[in-house]
Amino acid sequence: MAGSKVLFETSKGNIVIQLHPEWSALGCEHFIKLVQAGFYDGAPWFRVIEGFVAQCGISASARLNEDMGEKTIKDEPLVMGNGKGKVSFGRTGAPNSRSSHIFINYKDNNFLDHQGFPAFGEVVEGMDVALSLAKVEFEDQFTLASPAGMDIFRDEFPDADYILKATVQN
């Protein structure tokens, strides 16, 4: 895992995320499992807020959402915070609630640090691509994870961007 990178081939171009297990070992391990299972293949960037974050983490496959989307990992101490280009798992306010949602910080969002969002990686190539993703705010994440969710999302946001393929690069 040390030295691993994940390549997101997106509808706008490539984004390469360098993983840092010294920042979040559980986060890196969980992210690699999701990528290797094809969880992010075809996934939409469903929450892209200018000057804040780009978020994904709901699979295009309803089966993968059901099988893996709610599997959580334990909280870890903050080693690296949410600076520009850092990648973190989303979570609810509940303990140990990191699952499949990840976000790329568009700027220094260090106010998230005390809320339990440790970074596990950083964008090392393609930050310009991440910053160019179509601005989207799809609030109904339960619907998006359902079998008809992707069609509903496409109808509402025809210009949205997607992760076409995600692969681990060692």
Which domains are seen in the chain, by residue range?
Answer: 5-169 (2.40.100.10)
pLDDT at 109: 98
Per-residue exposure over 45-55, b if at least 16 CB sit within 10 Å of its own CB, e if not: bbbbeeeebbb
Residues in the chain: 170
H-helix or E-strand spanning residue 9: strand 5-10
Is pTM beyond 0.85? Reply is yes
Q: Residue type for 53, please?
A: V
Structure confidence at residue 36 (pLDDT):
98
pLDDT reported for residue 170: 83
CA angle 98, 37, 54 (to 5 degrees): 50
Cα 69–Cα 71–Cα 77 angle in degrees, nearest 5? 115
Rounded to 5 degrees, φ, ψ at 150 are -65, -40
Q: Rounded distance, CA 88 to CA 79, Å? A: 12
Token pair of 81, please? 């915070």
Question: Which residues of the chain, if any, have pLDDT below 50?
Answer: none
Nearest to 19 by CA among 110, 99, 91, 121: 121
